[in-house]
């Protein structure tokens, strides 16, 4: 039975998606400026905004983020007036990454200034796929909602992927470089290496459960990966394509095995990969399609991911 007294504000996209998957979308009364899924929550009041321009170049965004953090300023602001008006019973946030979303510390400060309400703060901190399952179960328990069916369905989809690659030999498991940021060059970590390995890939440069790290250009070239996947945090397919194209202008890039075999891919890293919620399983299936198209076809191609076409991959800058 639905609890009509619940008034939840979610300040992190993955939290919003977990709540919705558990059948709690109607209880969400406010959201962050980045919460855009599922579509029905987009009419909820926005409680946050960013202090930086996300439309700038990747290097400019990186520098602005560093300047804000070094100045002891948060990258995001919380509108406490809207929070006060919404009178939430619960606020969902995260304590995993200061760059990804509003931090737990920011939320605690905002709540301390509320007069009429003292909402319960639920902070998520996933680093691995099991942590995401645990978060789903924990959120379900807090709101007295059964998470068993949801978790069983998600885990079953993971097992299907694993079963389909069981017959592959070691030589059929491609080496994979997952790019989370382009300038500076950074490789995706946390749950991403785990996802890659689950669907028959061999992750390069990063370890499961560890934070993302920078990567030297020469190291990428020397490793000569079989597959290169761009999944920048916060960017859709169109923006990711723009960023990926800057690499195609380098002569060393054109000699890479992944480039020559047409196995350079761009993804919607904003909707997938960087949101540790139920759609990480979609992300797993997307990876499966890219790494083993002879086995998997879930229908994500064209909307969630695309291959860089041959002319894009070998393009030369106009003089």
Domains of the chain: 8-125 (3.40.50.1980), 150-313 (3.40.50.1980)
pLDDT on residue 212:
86
Give the C-alpha distances (Å, rounded to integers) separating 215 from 95, 99, 161, 182, 269: 25, 18, 29, 10, 19
Q: Which residue has the tokens 């979308």?
A: 25
User: Considering the entire predicted model, what is its pTM?
Assistant: 0.89
Element (H, E) at 305: strand 305-307
Give, in order, the Cα–Cα distances in Å from 111 to each of 9, 52, 104, 105, 205: 12, 23, 10, 10, 40
Q: Which residues 6+ apart lie within 8 Å of 262 measured at CB? A: 307, 310, 313
Q: Which residues of 268-297 are buried (b: 16+ CB within 10 A; e: fewer)?
A: bbbbbbbbbbbbbbbbbbbbbbbbbeeebe
Residue range 31-58, pLDDT digits in tens:
999 999 999 999 999 999 876 556 666 6
Model pLDDT, residue 309: 66
- Tell the residue number behind the tokens 């703060």, with chain if given: 121
Residues 6+ apart with CB under 8 A from 275: 13, 14, 17
pLDDT in tens, 205-228: 988 888 888 999 999 999 999 999
| Separation in Å, CA 312 to CA 94, 201, 316 | 38, 25, 9
Residues 164 and 219: their CA atoms lie apart, in Å, by 32
Residues of the chain with pLDDT under 50: 1, 68-69, 72-73, 310, 313-319
User: Radius of gyration (Cα) for the chain, nearest Å?
Assistant: 20
3-state secondary structure of 204: coil
């Amino acid at each position: 039975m639905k609890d009509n007294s619940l008034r939840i504000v979610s300040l992190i996209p993955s939290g919003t998606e977990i709540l919705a998957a558990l059948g709690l979308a109607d209880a969400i009364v406010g959201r962050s400026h980045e919460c855009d899924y599922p579509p029905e929550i987009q009419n909820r009041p926005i409680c946050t905004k960013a202090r930086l321009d996300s439309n700038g170049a990747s290097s400019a965004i990186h520098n602005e983020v560093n300047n804000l953090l070094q100045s002891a300023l948060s990258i995001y602001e919380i509108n406490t007036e809207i929070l006060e008006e919404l009178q939430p019973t619960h606020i969902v946030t995260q304590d995993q990454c200061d760059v990804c979303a509003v931090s737990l510390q920011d939320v605690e400060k905002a709540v301390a200034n509320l007069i009429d309400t003292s909402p319960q703060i639920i902070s998520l901190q996933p680093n691995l796929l099991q942590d995401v399952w645990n978060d789903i179960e924990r959120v379900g328990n807090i709101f007295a909602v059964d998470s068993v069916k949801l978790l069983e369905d998600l885990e079953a989809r993971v097992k299907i992927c694993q079963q389909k690659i069981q017959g592959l030999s070691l030589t059929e498991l491609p080496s994979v470089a997952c790019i989370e940021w382009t300038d500076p060059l950074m490789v995706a970590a946390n749950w991403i290496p785990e996802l890659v390995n689950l669907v028959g890939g061999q992750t390069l440069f990063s370890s499961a459960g560890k934070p993302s790290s920078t990567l030297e250009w020469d190291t990428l070239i020397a490793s000569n990966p079989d597959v290169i996947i761009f999944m920048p945090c916060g960017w859709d397919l169109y923006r990711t394509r723009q960023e990926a194209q800057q690499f195609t202008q380098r002569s060393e890039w054109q000699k890479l095995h992944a480039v020559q075999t047409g196995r350079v891919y761009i993804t919607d890293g904003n909707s997938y990969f960087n949101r540790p919620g139920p759609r990480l399983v979609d992300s797993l299936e997307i990876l499966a399609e890219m790494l083993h198209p002879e086995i998997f076809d879930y229908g994500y191609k064209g909307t969630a991911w695309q291959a860089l076409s041959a002319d894009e991959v070998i393009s030369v800058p106009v003089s």
